[in-house]
Chains A and B, each alone.
Chain A
């Protein structure tokens, strides 16, 4: 079964420190992986995606994510956190070879990032 796990409900980081938001996935084939962010009272905003190629993907607002096929992970990272990064982060996967609906995104439950001054 296709699934995405975000093992941490909340991540707390001090401003200026590096941050990591974890994501692992389970799909039958090679996945397409996405990160979205939801700021308070806003919709989901696309951050970055991995399709193929370089395992390190760079996205908006200084975020990056590393695809690790052997660990089936796609952790989101940022070298230096800002208070304004505080938001809800969602990892998602699309399995393009899934015959039961290959366009849909499968989401994790979300991780709340709190960056403290």
Chain B
């Protein structure tokens, strides 16, 4: 079974440019999450999809970030325009939908974003 995949693995862009990150969850996982780790600090939650619906987007830092999950499969996270403080590692995770909240989130390798 393939794990969570993310593309690209690295991205270097200039301030003001646009970047789009992609995440393909584990097949059959309806839950999809985005997290990011900035400057060696803790990993912080950004948002949560259940299928194509945004369940919780309380962690999105501002309106420069736009996440989509059309069709409930893969997801994209667009940053437009990028700022220096957006640099960090963006992780995607997926899990099966359950009723007990005991399910494990499985993470992808992350996308390392550097904004110059």
Contact = CB atoms under 8 A, between A and B. Distances in A.
B56 A103 contact: yes
A46 B106 contact: yes
B58 A103 contact: no
Given A32-B101, A107-B42, A100 B58 contact: yes
Interface in A27-45: 32, 34, 36, 42-45
Contacts, number: 66
Contact of B4 (A43, A101, A103, A105): A43
B52 to A, nearest CB: 16
A104 B102 contact: no
A102 B101 contact: yes
A105 B93 CA distance: 11
Contacts of B4: 43
Nearest to B107: A44
A22 interface: no
A82 to B, nearest CB: 23
Interface string A82-101: 00000000101010100011
Interface in B3-56: 3-4, 6, 31, 33, 35, 40-45, 48, 55-56
A103 B44 contact: no
B108 A107 contact: no
Interface size class of A (residues with CB under 8 A): 20 to 34
B81 interface: no
A105 B6 CA distance: 19
B56 A104 contact: yes
A85 B7 CA distance: 27
B42 A110 contact: yes
A18 B105 CA distance: 28
Interface of A: 4, 32, 34, 36, 42-46, 49, 51, 90, 92, 94, 96, 100-110
Interface of B: 3-4, 6, 31, 33, 35, 40-45, 48, 55-56, 58-59, 91, 93, 101-102, 104-110
